Chains A and B, each alone.
Chain A
C-alpha cells in the first residue's frame, strides 16, 4: 500500500518537473501510433517523420529525432534535454488504406493547433488503428468492376467485360487469403497472375471469340504496384534513400512476380498448343 502511494508521489513530481502539461510517455505513445498507422497503410516515410516532428514541435519538445523506413521506425524524444525516451517499432503488415492516412493527418493538424488534447488524440488514433475495412464484400465487387472497366479500356467487348469482372472478383478474394501469409505480397501476386492467366486462357480456348490480352491486362492493372512506385519517387527526391530503394524493390518484386505468374501459364498454354 505504501509503495503504491510512493509511486504516485513520484509520478506526480515528475509531472511537475516537466514544464508542460503532457508527459513524455504519453506524447511518445501518440507519436508512435500516428507513425505506425501512416506506415502500415501506405503513407510515405517522410510523411511519418514529418508528422512525428510536427507533433513534437507543437508540444515544445526540446529534442525530437526520428528515422522511418517502410519496415520500421525509431523515435527519440527528450523533453528537457537531459532525459531521453527512445522507442523502436517494427512494421510487419502493410496494406493500402488512404482514408486512414487522411484521418491521421487531420489528427496531427488538430494537435498542432491545440484544438484537441493529447488524450483525445490518443483515443482518436486508437479508433483509427482498430477500424476494420468497411464492407469487404463491396471491396471485392469494386475490384472486379475496376478490372472489367480496364479490360474495356484496353480493347475488350461485352464478353471480355464479364470475364474480367468474374476474374477480378476471384483474384481479389484469393489474394485476401494470401495476405495473412508471412511472405510479403510475393505469393499473393504470383497466384493472382496464375489465376488471371488460367481463366483468360480457358475462356479463350472454349469460346474462341474472346481476346485474352485485354482480360489479362485489365485484371493486372489494379494489382500493379502504383503506390509503391509513386512513394519510391517521392521518398527518393526528399533524400530518404533507404526508403526509396526499399519501395522500388517492393514495386519490382510485385511487378515481376505478377508477370512471372502470368507468363508461366501462357507459356504452358503455348507449348501445349492451346492457341
Chain B
C-alpha cells in the first residue's frame, strides 16, 4: 500500500516537472499532474489484476477522456492536457528492456519483449483514437 502511495507521489512529481518543461499553462498544471497519477494508478492496478496490455488501454482511455473533458471546460486544446499526463504510461521500460536484451545477445527474449511493447503501444493508440473519435462525434463542428 505504501509502495503504491509512494509511486503515485513520484508519478505526480515527475509529470508535474515534465509539464513544466513543456511550458504548460500555469493554471492547468495541477489538473494534468493529478490526472497523470490517477491514470498511472489505473494502469498499475489493471496490469496487476488482469493483463498488462489492458492496463495500458485503461490508463490511456482515462487520461484521454479527462483531457477531452478539461479541454471543454477550460476552452483549451486537448493536447495540453493529454500529452503531459500520458508520459508516465508510455512503455519506456519495455523499450529499454527490448534494447537491453538485444545488447545482451538474447535475441529470443528481445523479440518477446519487443512484440509485447509494440502491442502495448498499439493498445494505447487504439484507446486514444477511440476517445478522440468519440470527442469529435460529440463536438459536431465546434472547435475547442
Interface positions of A (Cβ within 8 A of B): 42-44, 47, 50-51, 54, 96-102, 105, 109, 133-134, 138-139, 142-143, 145-146, 149-150, 152-154, 172, 213, 216-217, 220-222, 224, 226-227, 229-231, 233-234, 236-238, 255, 259, 262-263, 266-267, 270
Contacts and interface: CB of A to CB of B under 8 A. Distances in A.
A234 B132 contact: yes
Contact of B88 (A47, A145, A153, A259): A153
Interface in B85-134: 86-88, 90, 92-93, 95-96, 98-100, 102-104, 121, 125, 128-129, 132-133
Contact of A238 (B14, B80, B96, B136): B136
B22 interface: yes
A54 B143 contact: yes
Interface size class of B (residues with CB under 8 A): 35 or more
B35 to A, nearest CB: 14
The 9 A-B residue pairs with the shortest CB-CB distance, nearest first, are A149-B14, A146-B17, A149-B13, A142-B20, A153-B10, A145-B17, A99-B23, A152-B10, A146-B18
A226 B86 contact: yes
Contact of A229 (B18, B23, B125): B125
B100 A98 contact: no
Given A154-B93, A220-B92, A237-B133, A142 B77 contact: no
Given A47-B77, A99-B24, A229-B121, 13 more contacts: A54-B143, A97-B22, A98-B79, A101-B79, A102-B25, A102-B77, A149-B11, A220-B96, A230-B79, A230-B128, A234-B79, A234-B129, A266-B99
A270 B104 contact: yes
A133 B23 CA distance: 8
Nearest to A109: B75
B82 interface: yes
Contacts of A109: 75
A221 B92 contact: yes
Contacts of B80: 98, 101-102
Of A54, A226, A266, the most chain B CB neighbours within 10 A belong to A226
A226 B132 contact: no
Interface of B: 7, 10-11, 13-15, 17-18, 20-25, 75-77, 79-80, 82-84, 86-88, 90, 92-93, 95-96, 98-100, 102-104, 121, 125, 128-129, 132-133, 136, 143
Contacts of B21: 139, 142-143, 146, 172, 222
A270 B17 CA distance: 33
A153 B103 CA distance: 24
Contact of A263 (B20, B92, B99, B136): B99
Contact of B83 (A133, A227, A267): A227
A101 B96 contact: no
A233 B14 contact: no
Nearest to A227: B83
Contacts of B18: 142, 146, 222
Contact of B102 (A145, A172, A231, A263): A263
Contacts of A259: 95-96, 98-99
A109 B99 CA distance: 46
B25 to A, nearest CB: 5
B17 A149 contact: yes
